[in-house]
Amino acid sequence: MIQNQKTSAHKIAFPILIALSISHCLNDMLQSVISAVYPLFKEDLALSFAQIGLITLVYQMSASVFQPLMGLLFDKRPVAWSLPIGMSFTLLGIVNLAFATNLYWLLISVFIVGIGSSVLHPEASRITFLASGGKRGLAQSLFQVGGNLGGSLGPLLVALLVAPYGRHYIALFTVFALLAIVVMVPICRWFRSYLNSIKESPMLAAEKIERPLSTKMTVFAIAVLLILIFSKYIYMASLTSYYTFYLIHKFGVTVQDSQLFLFVFLVATAIGTLVGGPVGDRVGRKYVIWASILGTAPFSMLMPHAGLVGTVALSFCVGLMLSSAFPAILLYAQELLPNKLGLISGLFFGFAFGIAGIASAVLGGMADKYGIEAVYNVCAFMPLLGLVACCLPNLKKR
Nearest to 151 by CA among 286, 65, 272: 272
Which residues lie closer than 8 Å to 98 by C-beta, 6 or more apart? 167, 168, 169, 170, 171
Encode pLDDT of 330-367 as tens digits. 888 878 887 777 777 777 777 776 776 677 778 878 88
The helix/strand/coil state of 386 is: helix
pLDDT confidence tier of residue 312, bands split at 50, 70 and 90: very high
pLDDT confidence of residue 184:
94
What is the DSSP track for 106-117? HHHHHHHHHHHH
CA 189 to chain centre: 25
Question: Could you tell me the end-to-end alpha-carbon distance of the chain, in angstroms, rounded to an integer?
Answer: 30
Q: Rounded to an integer, what distance in angstroms lies between the CA atom of residue 98 and that of residue 226?
A: 35
Nearest to 326 by CA among 363, 364, 377, 274: 274
CB atoms within 10 A of CB 223: 11
CB atoms within 10 A of CB 47: 19
Q: Do 327 and 276 touch, CB atoms closer than 8 A? A: yes
Produce one character per residue of 190-211: b if its CB has 16 or more CB atoms within 10 Å, e if not. Answer: bbeebeebeeebeeeeeeeeee
Q: Which of 69-73, 120-124, 204-208 has the lowest mean pLDDT?
A: 204-208
Produce one character per residue of 263-300: b if its CB has 16 or more CB atoms within 10 Å, e if not. Answer: bebbbbbbbbbbbbbbbbbeebbbbbbbbbbbbbbebb
Region of 209 (left: φ > 0; alpha: ψ -120 to 50; beta: rest) is: beta
Half-sphere exposure of 47 (CA within 13 A, CB side): 25
Encode pLDDT of 145-194 as tens digits. 788 778 778 878 888 888 788 788 898 999 999 999 999 999 999 988 88
Q: Where are the alpha helices (DSSP H) in 46-173?
A: 49-76, 82-99, 103-130, 136-157
One-letter amino acid for residue 309 of the chain: V
Q: Rounded to an integer, what distance in angstroms lies between the CA atom of residue 372 and that of residue 318?
A: 19
CA 199 to chain centre: 32
Q: Which of 101-105, 197-201, 204-208, 236-240 has the lowest mean pLDDT?
A: 204-208
Q: Rounded to an integer, what distance in angstroms lies between the CA atom of residue 153 and that of residue 318?
A: 18
pLDDT confidence tier of residue 3, bands split at 50, 70 and 90: very low
Encode pLDDT of 284-294 as tens digits. 778 888 888 88
Half-sphere exposure of 192 (CA within 13 A, CB side): 10
What is the DSSP track for 172-222? GGHHHHHHHHHHHHHHHHHHHHHHHHHHH-HHHHH--PPPSS-HHHHHHHH
Q: Rounded to an integer, what distance in angstroms lies between the CA atom of residue 295 and that of residue 183?
A: 36
Q: Rounded to an integer, what distance in angstroms lies between the CA atom of residue 345 and that of residue 272?
A: 20
Q: What is the CATH number of domain 9-391?
A: 1.20.1250.20
pLDDT confidence of residue 360:
72
What is the DSSP track for 247-274? HHHHH---HHHHHHHHHHHHHHHHHHHH
pLDDT top residue among 185 and 390? 185
pLDDT confidence of residue 150:
84
Nearest to 174 by CA among 40, 63, 33: 33
Q: Rounded to an integer, what distance in angstroms lies between the CA atom of residue 15 and that of residue 187?
A: 9
Which residues lie closer than 8 Å to 146 by C-beta, 6 or more apart? 20, 21, 22, 23, 24, 25, 28
